């Protein structure tokens, strides 16, 4: 079977985008060029690799197998190019990083300094919920993954990155915000807003609540930290979020961290990668950069340069009164 690098790259783009148009845009070529190259690839394979589906395509069984082969071959070639650059004393290539949405409060802030140090490294960042990140791990799509709860069913290597304390928050106007030394029974009857089932924060909360024998009155599940903060600031209920997802002074967001026995709940962020996937020279450079930068954290707190500055008075969100 005779194929070319261009055909493999175009087919990978087709598998990733789900359409000929998407593949053409991804590879910066015309649609007729993509159609011709893919037709030749199908003829070389001797079996259909994809079929029309609405405005896109659906991969056949052979197409799915070829997509996996394309990923493996092109990824290994990219690793070889990075190894050559490393032998020449250069840091050049592509870095694929995926992070759970709770880590987007600080990881993107690291990419600027990293790119300044290594301008020839092309960084691709994927931010998604835990379920999507686990699927990416299953498919070995990324060099590194940052998450709080590594999966049990995938063989991975996990390295501690940073403490991720989970705190209980309320509207700054909530009566409990003015009390200290609260016990769990003080929360009985309070409405709770939690992250969506399956998220790392939700898993950590439910495990700890089960140990305490505490059953919160969960009235809402949301997939966004920002949406949760707005709902809490508006007086809808209490929530458990990463301390790193809050402003340095939560009052700027109309929020208060409650002083409740057992909180903060201990949680951690981990650097995760597939066990069989050795880090590339570029990935090792990013690992060293993370360790160097985050080594300045104290008591689970991010270095000041990586935490958002308090908003100016004109941009602070207005707190809606509780109903």
Q: What does the pLDDT read at residue 26?
A: 86
The pLDDT value recorded for residue 316 is 46
Residue among 2, 55, 58 at smallest CA distance from 31: 55
Q: Which residues pair with 50 in a beta bridge?
A: 59
pLDDT at position 78 is 78
Pick the CATH number of 166-257 from 3.40.640.10, 3.40.920.10, 3.65.10.10, 3.40.190.10: 3.40.190.10
pLDDT computed for residue 293 by the predictor: 84
Give dist(CA 322, CA 237) in Å, integer.
9
pLDDT of residue 85: 67
* Residue 17, burial from CB neighbour count under 10 angstroms (0-12, 13-18, 19+): middle
CA 178/CA 73 separation, integer angstroms: 60
Query: Cα separation of 201 and 215, whole Å?
Result: 16
**Structurally, what CATH architecture does the domain formed by 78-162+268-306 represent?**
3-Layer(aba) Sandwich (3.40)
Cis before 264 (ω within 30): yes
SS3 60: coil
The pLDDT, as a whole number, for residue 101 is: 83
Q: Of 138, 130, 143, which Cα lies nearest the Cα of 154?
A: 138
Q: What is the pLDDT of residue 253?
A: 92
Query: Is the sign of the CA dihedral 80, 85, 87, 91 positive or negative?
Result: negative
Backbone angles phi, psi at 238, to 5 degrees: -100, 160
Q: For the chain, give every domain's residue range.
A: 5-69, 78-162+268-306, 166-257
Q: Which helix (H) or strand (E) holds 195?
A: strand 191-195
In this structure, whether the domain defined by 5-69 belongs to CATH 1.10.10.10 is answered with: yes
137, 203, 268, 274 from 134: Cα distances, Å: 5, 14, 17, 11
Whole-angstrom CA distances from 20 to 11, 77, 158 are 9, 24, 38
Structure tokens at 64: 């799915």
Q: How many CA atoms lie within 13 A of 235 on its CB side?
A: 9
Residue 262: what are its φ and ψ, rounded to 5°?
Answer: 95, -15
Question: What's 293's DSSP letter?
Answer: H
Identical fold for domains 78-162+268-306 and 166-257, yes or no, is yes
Residue 303's pLDDT is 52
Radius of gyration of the chain (CA): 24
Q: What pLDDT score was predicted for residue 212? A: 93
Dist. CA 38–CA 269, nearest whole Å: 42
Q: pLDDT (tens digit, 9 = 90+) per residue, 161-215?
A: 888 999 999 999 999 998 999 998 889 889 999 998 888 889 999 999 999 999 8
Give the mean pLDDT per block of 10 residues along the chain (323 residues).
85 90 89 90 90 88 90 82 66 84 82 87 88 89 90 90 91 92 89 90 91 91 90 93 89 93 91 85 87 64 50 45 43
């Amino acid at each position: 079977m005779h194929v070319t690098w261009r055909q493999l790259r175009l087919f990978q783009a087709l598998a990733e985008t789900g359409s000929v148009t998407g593949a053409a845009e991804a590879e910066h070529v015309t649609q007729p060029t993509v159609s011709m190259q893919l037709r030749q690839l199908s003829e070389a394979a001797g079996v259909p690799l994809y079929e029309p589906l609405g405005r896109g395509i659906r991969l056949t069984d052979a197409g799915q197998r070829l997509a996996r082969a394309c990923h493996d071959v092109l990824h290994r070639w990219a690793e070889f190019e990075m190894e050559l650059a490393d032998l020449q004393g250069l840091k050049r290539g592509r870095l694929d990083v995926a992070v759970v949405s709770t880590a987007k409060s600080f990881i993107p802030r690291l990419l600027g300094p990293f790119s300044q140090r290594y301008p020839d490294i092309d960084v691709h960042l994927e931010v998604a919920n835990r379920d999507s990140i686990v699927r990416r791990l299953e498919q070995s799509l990324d060099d590194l993954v940052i998450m709080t709860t590594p999966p049990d069913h995938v063989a991975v290597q996990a390295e501690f990155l940073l403490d991720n304390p989970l705190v209980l928050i309320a509207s700054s106007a909530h009566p409990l915000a003015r009390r200290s030394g609260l016990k769990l029974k003080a929360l009985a009857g309070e409405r709770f807003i939690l992250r969506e089932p399956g998220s790392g924060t939700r898993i950590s909360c439910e495990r700890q609540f089960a140990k305490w024998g505490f059953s919160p009155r969960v009235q809402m599940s949301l997939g966004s930290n920002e949406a949760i903060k707005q709902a809490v600031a508006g007086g809808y209920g209490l929530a458990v979020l990463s301390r790193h997802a809050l402003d340095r002074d939560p009052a700027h967001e109309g929020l208060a961290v409650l002083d409740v026995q057992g909180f903060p709940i201990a949680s951690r962020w981990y650097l995760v990668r597939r066990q069989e996937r050795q880090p590339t020279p570029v990935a090792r450079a990013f690992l060293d950069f993370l360790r160097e930068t985050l080594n300045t954290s104290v008591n689970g707190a991010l270095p000041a340069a990586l935490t958002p500055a308090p908003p100016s008075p004109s941009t602070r969100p207005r707190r809606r009164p509780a109903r």
